A and B are shown apart, each in its own frame.
Chain A
C-alpha cells in the first residue's frame, strides 16, 4: 500500500506559475508562427522550469519566488505615447507598454515576425531548429507565448539609416514578453537600442521574459545595446541568442541598474571564420537587488576573436553574479578570447560571485580570463585625498570612474552615452547610501 502512495506524492501539484503556463499553453496563438510556438512548448515540457538545486546556472537566481507568483499573458490594451521619451532624435521606434507593443513609425525593415516569415519560410525553419537546441527553458516561454514578436531584417549590403530604438515600459504590475528577431544579411549593418524602464511607484510585481534573437550573415555588423533601468519590483529575465557567420561583427552592451531581479543570459556562437564578438556589461546594484549576467560564448571555427568585460558596482546587501563560459571547440584553432569580470563592493553586506570558465578543446589558442572582487583601491583613494579631495568625494569619484570607464567605448552613440551617464549617476547615489 505504501509503495502505491509514493507514486502520487503531493508535491506534484503545480505551482501557480506553472499552472498559469499550462493554461496559456492550451491556447497558443494560431498565427503563422504556430509551428514555432508548438516546438517551443514541446521543448519547454521536456526541460521544465529551471531547478536551482541541480542546475548550476540557476543556483543563485530566485526561481522559487518566481514560481510562487501567478503567470498570465498581457491583455490587449492601448498605448499611452506620452510615457515614451526617445533617446535618438531619429529612429525606427517600437514601444511596449505593460506588455503590449506599438509600432511608432514606418520602417520597412521592422515588422511583426508573423508577417516577416510568410515570405520567408526558411527563416521560420531556422528559428524552429534553434528552439530544439536551446537549454534555457524560460526563453522558450517567450517563443511560445510572445503575443507579437517583432522582426528587424536588413537585406544584403544595406545599412539601416536610422537605429531601431525600443522602449519597454511598465507602470503597473504586469507580465510581458518582448521578442525581437534580428536578421542581418550579407554585409548589412544595424544599430539597436533596447531600453527597459519602469515606474518606481508601480504596485505589485512585474514579470518580463524577453528574447533577442540575432542571426548575422557574412560580413554583417550589429551594435546591440540593452539598457535596463528597472526601478519596479519583479523579475526581469532576458535571453540574447546570436550566431555570427564569417567576418560578422557583434558589439553587445548590457546594463542592469536598480533591478530587483535581473538575469541576462547571452549565448553567442562564432560560426564563421574571423567573426568577432565584443560583449560588455555594467551593473549597478543597491538595496536587495539581484543581478545575474550569464554568458555562453562558443568559438566553433578557427580564427575568431571575442572579448568580454563585465563590471558591477554593488551596494546595500545586493548580490551580483557573473557566470561566463568560453567554449573553444576542437576545430577552433587560432582563437583569441578574453574574459574579465570586475566587481566593486560598496558595502560590507554586498556580495559578488564571479565564475569565469574556459573549456578549450583546441590546442593552438589564446584565451585569458580573470575576475576581481574588491573594494576601492587604497592607492587611488590616497592619491585623490592628497590633492585636497575629501574621502567621501574621492570614493564617489572612484566609483563613478569605475563605471564610466565602461562607457568610454566609442561604439556607444553620444546620445546613448549622455542619457546613460545620468542614469549611472543616479544608480550610484542609491548604491552608495
Chain B
C-alpha cells in the first residue's frame, strides 16, 4: 500500500487564547479518494480545514498530521501550499490593488520553484492560465481585475477553483465551497472540481448539505460533532443525514444537539 495522502491521528486543537474545538480526530485519506466532512454548525468542520492549511488563529494541542508521510504541522502556511495542500476558502478574501493574473503567477511560480522547476514569465504564464479558464467557465477579463474585488459570490468561488487548477494540489480542502452559490454556479464549480480530480490526488469536501455531494460524489462521508468524528460511512450516510438530520447520531453517541 502506498503512503496515504493525509493521515490524521488523534488531533486536538483550539482557538489561540480560546476554547478547544477539536477533541481527537483521526482519519486517513488515500490517493484518488474524496472524503466529505459534514456536521452541524460549530462541530469543528471549518476549524479542521483551517488547521490543515496552517491558519494562525488556531493551535494544535496534541496529535499528528502527516501529509504524504511528512509532518504537516511543522510547516508554515506557505510551505504547506508549496508542498501541495490547497484550501478553497469559504469566504475568499478581496485584495484591492493586486492583479488577479499577477497573483496567480506568483503562486504558481512559488510552487514551481519549490519543486525545482523553471518559473514562467507573464507571457508564458498567460497561456497556462488561458488553458485553465474553461474548467471554471471563467471569462478572461477576471484575470485583469484585482483579486476577488467586486466579484460576486459565485465568481469568487470559481476563482478559488481556478487557483486550484493552476496549483494542481495533491490535497484540496474545499471549505463550504457550496455556500452562497446558486444552482448554476454550483454546477460549474463542482464540474471544475471533478475535472481536477485524478488517481494521484485527494480531496476533502466540507459541507452542510447533501446537495453538493450530488455533484461531487464522495467515497467516504464523516460526520463531525463536538470536535469528534461520530460516524463514518459511504455516500448513503449523507442521504440519511439529509432526511433524518443530525439528532439521531448525537443521541446514538450519547450527546445532545
Contact = CB atoms under 8 A, between A and B. Distances in A.
A69 B45 CA distance: 66
B89 A383 contact: yes
Nearest to A390: B78
Contacts of A404: 97-98
B48 to A, nearest CB: 15
A415 B241 CA distance: 61
Interface in A379-418: 379-380, 382-391, 393-394, 397-398, 400-406, 408
Interface residues of B, number: 27
Interface residues of A, number: 25
Interface string A249-284: 000000000000000000000000000000000000
Given A383-B92, A388-B78, A388-B114, A405 B97 contact: yes
A169 to B, nearest CB: 30
Nearest to A394: B78
B4 to A, nearest CB: 22
Given A386-B77, A387-B167, A380 B110 contact: no
A386 B92 contact: no
A393 B106 CA distance: 9
Contacts of B55: 382, 386
Contacts of A384: 95, 103
A403 B146 CA distance: 13
Given A382-B56, A401-B146, A389 B106 contact: yes
Contacts of A397: 98, 103, 106
Contact of B76 (A379, A380, A385, A402): A385
Given A382-B77, A405-B146, A389 B110 contact: yes
B96 A401 contact: yes
Contacts of B1: none
Nearest to B166: A387
Given A382-B56, A393-B106, A387 B95 contact: no
Contacts of B163: 387
Interface string B83-110: 0000101001101111000010011001
Nearest to B104: A387
A400 B98 contact: yes
Interface string B50-69: 00011110000000000000
Given A386-B55, A408-B97, 9 more contacts: A382-B55, A383-B89, A385-B81, A386-B77, A389-B81, A390-B78, A400-B98, A402-B96, A408-B146
Interface of A: 378-380, 382-391, 393-394, 397-398, 400-406, 408
